[in-house]
Amino acid sequence: MKVVFVILCALSICLGGDSTQTKTVPDVSYDHLLHPLKLKDGELFLQVKSGNAKDITSPAVYKLSDFEKVARGTATGIQLDFGNKNLKGMLHYGLIVYGDSRFPMPVFYKKTAKIEEGSTHIPVLDNLSKDHDAVNWQETGRGVIGYRVVSNRGRLLYEGKVAFSGKGPFSVVPTVIEGPFVHNVTHDSAIISFETDSKTESSLNVNGTFYSQNPPATMHIYQLNNLQPDSQYQYRLSVGSHVEGYSFKTPPVPGSRKKFKFAYASDSRGGSGGGERDLYGVNAYILKKIMALFVQQDCVFFQFSGDLINGYLSEPAEMRLQYRNFKRAVEPFAHYFPIYYSIGNHELLMKTFLIDKQPVFVDNFPYETHSAEVVFANEFINPESDLVSEDGSRWDPDPDHVNFPPYKETVFQYRYDNIAVVVLNSNYWYAPLISRIPESGGNLHGYIMDNQMKWLEKTLHQLEADRTIDHVFVTLHTPFFPNSGHVVDDMWYSGNNEPRPTIKGTPVEKGIIERRDELLDLIVNRSSKPIALLTGDEHNYCRTLIDDAMPRYPENYPGRKVKLKRSIYQINNGSAGAPYYAIQQTPWTEHTSSFTTQTALCVIEVEGPKVSMVVINPDTLEEIDSVVLR
């Protein structure tokens, strides 16, 4: 592996052609940058060892702000003036009948409205009245409309909501545009959150106890404490005169060993096939099917491990649009149950340079506002851990300062009764081309860095000693043993141990296969409770029995080989809607079973010491696999 070793300090450069925008290049990355920015022929370049590096980061195509806070009332309806004036297409619209079902969604009217030059009008008075007034707004003078923006090429871009008052003329009033969601439900606590389009007060009634948000805000986050275990809670939010009501249930006291089910899937980014299979970066069609199956199967929580969206974007505002589309698809169901999210490679928010005609992608910066990790943590509410970042590891070139992005809400553990789920981030500080261009600096797809390893070791040790916990599931986006489209990377790299992170010009000591073995040693040999690795990235379902008999090294592997004292399952389910990958031959193919390119939901049932799993196609309800895990 040829690595260019260059030592340099943090550089202050101007980026994106905006001379007022000065950003500091993180000094743990960008090993190739030799000199600060230069102006050449009116364009901005970074001079590097072998020439120039041009900032070619792509601007956003669409932003969340193009579609939100764009409504105003008119004499006969609602006018929408989108942020993108080139937008042409059509708008589907319809009233949302809250209270009509457990899972409110718009009932779309039979006609659409044309979008021209980024504007359209919803004719409430003419089209949503009389026998189409499903919410009785003609009496009450209020309602909520759901709408769907479709481009003139037929691509779904966004699903929105707007609340109105009046009987004509109409006014737009503060609208709950996202949620409510239930998060981090323990036997005695929970969080309920929702977002409004404008700053407003809100209140929440939980089984008769009132909470309120004051002063006015757009993010409404309610921390509920002192709840009773194994209990049903009805909750009702109020924003102005708008009310929505749902419920959630707390788990039993840890270690009760009651019977319950939870669900696992990942990889729901935009799929092929048209229509709702690609709601601007999200396969909303399969996601809704998966969530409906999740409810039908009586699951109590959902673990979703990465690649929620197409991502690989540069502006937080475009990432937020795709995250909004993801959350809109799961929203009707997530009013009732927590979903725990982890990060995948497609959650990358990146900066792109062209160096010697070769594009180089790295985690965007400043890390405090523009890293993939921070944008993800701002968009989702997950549990937190005491793992801060890779600062302070033996590879940190500057121990006195924070140089790495935060792990916040991307690495954590949570519990339900007698199980724990340990969530890892195998795309932390991700630089997509690091295996080919080590001098770009950054972390490798699939690599768990040193501080995260230490956290995992400590966490597994604690769980091993915890008498309330019988089973541990370890989840991360990338499989240990890929079987299809990611045989060339994940934790195998076609059998090459050479790929590894590079920090300020220095490749770390352990290669990807050595690190995989250290993980297996921790999870399989030094712990007894981990029962399965829940992985994704590859867009298929595949179960792999990992044991010592399984071939897991390339030919003539010179490194130390780890013996496995017991077996563990790798349950790969990246089948939540992303485009498929076909099966490939690997040394461990004979240890795999039930491979399918069909979409799949894993439903895992726990009853005291027993754990079993059924895997169901959410589109056809066909059973794909059924297995006793313990």
Residue showing the smallest CB distance to Fe ion in the complex: 537
Q: Which residues share a beta bridge with 25?
A: none
* Nearer to Fe ion among residue 254 and residue 442 (C-beta): 442
User: What residue has token string 């069609």?
Assistant: 285
- Binding flag, residue 345, Fe ion (CB under 5 A): yes
Angle at 351 between CA 349 and CA 352, to 5 degrees: 130
Residues 104-123 vs Fe ion: string with x where CB under 5 A? --------------------
Minimum distance between the CB of residue 608 and Fe ion, rounded to whole angstroms?
34
Minimum distance between the CB of residue 305 and Fe ion, rounded to whole angstroms?
10
* Nearer to Fe ion among residue 104 and residue 344 (C-beta): 344
* Nearer to Fe ion among residue 244 and residue 537 (C-beta): 537
- Binding flag, residue 537, Fe ion (CB under 5 A): yes
Minimum distance between the CB of residue 494 and Fe ion, rounded to whole angstroms?
17
Q: How far is CA 227 from CA 22, 209, 223, 251, 425, in A?
A: 48, 11, 11, 10, 31
- At 505, which amino acid appears? G
Stretch that binds Fe ion, among 113-121, 393-401, 509-517, 536-544 (CB under 5 A): 536-544
* Cβ neighbours for 40, distance < 8 A, ≥ 6 positions apart: 52
Stretch that binds Fe ion, among 60-68, 89-97, 429-437, 535-543 (CB under 5 A): 535-543
Query: How far, in Å, CA of 336 to CA of 166, rounded?
Result: 31
| Helices within 524-616 (DSSP H only) | none
Of residues 404, 399, 336, 395, the one with CA closest to residue 367: 404
Stretch that binds Fe ion, among 62-70, 137-145, 162-170, 299-307 (CB under 5 A): 299-307
Minimum distance between the CB of residue 211 and Fe ion, rounded to whole angstroms?
38
Pairing of strands 190-206, 22-24: unpaired
| Cβ atoms of 604 and 629 closer than 8 Å | yes
- Binding flag, residue 363, Fe ion (CB under 5 A): no
- Binding flag, residue 251, Fe ion (CB under 5 A): no
Stretch that binds Fe ion, among 91-99, 183-191, 300-308, 492-500 (CB under 5 A): 300-308
Minimum distance between the CB of residue 445 and Fe ion, rounded to whole angstroms?
8
The token duo for 103 is 């899972």
Q: Report the sign of the C-alpha dihedral through residues 82, 158, 244, 376, in that order.
A: negative
| Cβ atoms of 575 and 540 closer than 8 Å | yes
* Nearer to Fe ion among residue 237 and residue 578 (C-beta): 578
* Nearer to Fe ion among residue 109 and residue 341 (C-beta): 341
- Binding flag, residue 575, Fe ion (CB under 5 A): no
Residues numbered 304 to 343 that lie near Fe ion (CB under 5 A) are 307
* Nearer to Fe ion among residue 490 and residue 605 (C-beta): 490
Site size for Fe ion (CB under 5 A): 4
Query: How far, in Å, CA of 382 to CA of 414, rounded?
Result: 9
* Nearer to Fe ion among residue 270 and residue 344 (C-beta): 344
Residues 256-295 vs Fe ion: string with x where CB under 5 A? ----------------------------------------
For 226, the 3-state DSSP assignment is coil
Q: What is the DSSP string of 120-161?
A: EEE-HHHHSSGGG-TT-HHHHSEEEEEEEEEETTS-EEEEEE
Query: How far, in Å, CA of 176 to CA of 338, rounded?
Result: 19
Minimum distance between the CB of residue 452 and Fe ion, rounded to whole angstroms?
18
Stretch that binds Fe ion, among 123-131, 186-194, 345-353, 526-534 (CB under 5 A): 345-353
CB atoms within 10 A of CB 429: 28
CB atoms within 10 A of CB 295: 15
Minimum distance between the CB of residue 442 and Fe ion, rounded to whole angstroms?
16
Q: Quick one: how many helices (H) and strands (E) in the chain?
A: 8, 36
* Nearer to Fe ion among residue 422 and residue 476 (C-beta): 476
The token duo for 334 is 């997530």
Query: How far, in Å, CA of 267 to CA of 575, rounded?
Result: 6
Of residues 224, 227, 229, the one with CA closest to residue 256: 229
The token duo for 413 is 């553990």
Minimum distance between the CB of residue 375 and Fe ion, rounded to whole angstroms?
17
Minimum distance between the CB of residue 309 and Fe ion, rounded to whole angstroms?
11
- At 133, which amino acid appears? D
- At 76, which amino acid appears? T
* Nearer to Fe ion among residue 94 and residue 446 (C-beta): 446
Minimum distance between the CB of residue 109 and Fe ion, rounded to whole angstroms?
38
- Binding flag, residue 344, Fe ion (CB under 5 A): yes
- At 227, which amino acid appears? L
* Nearer to Fe ion among residue 396 and residue 537 (C-beta): 537
* Nearer to Fe ion among residue 324 and residue 346 (C-beta): 346
Of residues 238, 236, 239, the one with CA closest to residue 247: 236
Minimum distance between the CB of residue 537 and Fe ion, rounded to whole angstroms?
4
| Cβ atoms of 588 and 544 closer than 8 Å | yes
* Nearer to Fe ion among residue 68 and residue 307 (C-beta): 307
* Cβ neighbours for 523, distance < 8 A, ≥ 6 positions apart: 460, 474, 530, 533, 568
Stretch that binds Fe ion, among 38-46, 110-118, 249-257, 530-538 (CB under 5 A): 530-538
- Binding flag, residue 577, Fe ion (CB under 5 A): no
* Nearer to Fe ion among residue 266 and residue 385 (C-beta): 266
| Cβ atoms of 275 and 286 closer than 8 Å | no
Minimum distance between the CB of residue 344 and Fe ion, rounded to whole angstroms?
4
The token duo for 218 is 């757009």
Residues numbered 582 to 621 that lie near Fe ion (CB under 5 A) are none
* Nearer to Fe ion among residue 307 and residue 439 (C-beta): 307
* Nearer to Fe ion among residue 426 and residue 586 (C-beta): 426
Query: How far, in Å, CA of 431 to CA of 360, rounded?
Result: 8
| DSSP 8-class letter at 111 | S
Minimum distance between the CB of residue 62 and Fe ion, rounded to whole angstroms?
22
Of residues 445, 526, 432, the one with CA closest to residue 479: 445
Minimum distance between the CB of residue 346 and Fe ion, rounded to whole angstroms?
6
Stretch that binds Fe ion, among 111-119, 294-302, 316-324, 537-545 (CB under 5 A): 537-545
Query: How far, in Å, CA of 52 to CA of 566, rounded?
Result: 53
Minimum distance between the CB of residue 347 and Fe ion, rounded to whole angstroms?
9
Task: Enumerate binding residues for Fe ion (CB under 5 A).
Answer: 307, 344-345, 537
